[in-house]
A and B are shown apart, each in its own frame.
Chain A
């Protein structure tokens, strides 16, 4: 006669590690004595965990969240291919309600962790630009959908691979992404054509840039427009990351090294 708790026991039998997603501190305390390796995944390390993977975006999709954290743990050499981990996560918001059994492998690598942590620009800056792009995608400019292209990091090289379309509104200014007023400002400037260039530390260097990378060997899905092509190509020529908000389908996409790394729907945030 099987009981309900055996159902859960099957899921967690022989796992090599446990991932706790945004646990409350009392919940975390209960599991500190486990034999298996314990990894806490949260936007902030509020529980003082030893091994901690920072979640830069609240991925709405649980799959993305799990993939991101496993990639992060693999990056630190905590797990190898073939290890099995249990992820304890909240699917519907609020308290933790789901346990997932996952086999660690290269297929887990989507490059999202790499995008945030190993980019040239600070992780916080990339997150801020993402948030601006997502907010822009949700609200648009005066109700109409807008497109935007942010090139983050390696600004010196990007500036040399591009030319101004008009006078730079950010010249002699010291505006950083993440400053309180910037979202409104960028929203207003998003009706300008061209790309925004953001430096490693988050300073907005320029708007109105026409990017001139060579588009050879850029591998992006067919059907995406000139904005995505330019964004993808500049990341192949420089060490920058491009974050593109599409005007036609409203998705936010991130490019790195000439490849599409992440695709998010702003409406789901």
Chain B
């Protein structure tokens, strides 16, 4: 008798809300599983193997993939929770929650972008390191780290702008940084790039080959080696190492 009374006391909206909540839990579980499957199928675990974030996740007894999958699950669950609350029409909460609901997708995206940023940054560091393994200069270790933190920075910037934090100053900083890199490469690497472009042409067309006698500017001699950046020309006792862009600036004379 009492139970029946209790049942009639509870407004039908609450039952509806409860149902919505139940569906929400189910849905969030499905989303978690499907997301994990999708990420694994896409080969994400292999791609991010060895990054610092993945290793940290492993130490905590989980993995990046399951973190991301769970995150999406929680997101769905929270969303349905709010829907349920709205359906239940609990008045005093609506005002607060409506603000939170508007904020939530941004937050979720921000966390996701941060995780992706960290993983991609780590991966970039590993790739650059791999590339530079042959270069045996201690200072070169600086480059992979620079690449990593650049990626981190950009990810943090995007994440912050997702949750609508004023990022203008940071963007200006990024712009200055990018400009500096462009300027640096333009000034410092221009001769190299010019030589490389000329060298590629020379290697492809073989305008002159090893053993030919040529004259470039004032240097006369026998070609010993042509590579992408320089041409080595030798006479008796002297070897000229001529940047390939000079070959293009000054032209070549083939001595027959």
Interface residues of A (CB under 8 A from B): 154-160, 171-172, 174, 197, 199-201, 203, 205
Contacts and interface: CB of A to CB of B under 8 A. Distances in A.
B223 A174 contact: no
A159 B224 CA distance: 10
Interface residues of B, number: 12
15 contacts: A154-B224, A155-B211, A155-B224, A156-B210, A156-B211, A157-B234, A160-B211, A160-B213, A160-B222, A174-B203, A199-B224, A199-B225, A200-B224, A201-B225, A205-B211
A157 B221 CA distance: 10
B210 A205 contact: yes
B234 A156 contact: yes
Contacts, number: 37
A171 B227 CA distance: 15
A100 to B, nearest CB: 33
A171 B211 CA distance: 12
Interface in B159-214: 203, 206, 209-211, 213
Contacts of B209: 171, 205
B115 to A, nearest CB: 38
A142 B222 CA distance: 39
Given A160-B213, A199-B210, A199-B225, 11 more contacts: A154-B224, A155-B224, A156-B211, A156-B222, A156-B224, A156-B234, A159-B211, A171-B206, A172-B206, A201-B227, A205-B209
Nearest to A155: B210
Nearest to B227: A201
**8 smallest A-B Cβ distances: which pairs?**
A159-B211, A156-B222, A156-B224, A205-B210, A155-B210, A156-B211, A172-B206, A156-B223
Is chain A's binding surface mostly helix, strand, loop or mixed?
mixed
Contacts of B223: 156
Nearest to B234: A156
A52 B223 CA distance: 35
Nearest to A174: B203
A172 B224 CA distance: 15
Contacts of B206: 171-172
A183 to B, nearest CB: 22
A34 B87 CA distance: 84
Nearest to A162: B211
A205 B223 CA distance: 12
A199 to B, nearest CB: 6
A160 to B, nearest CB: 6
A200 B227 CA distance: 12
Nearest to B233: A156
A160 B222 CA distance: 9
Nearest to B222: A156
Given A172-B206, A174-B203, A200 B211 contact: no
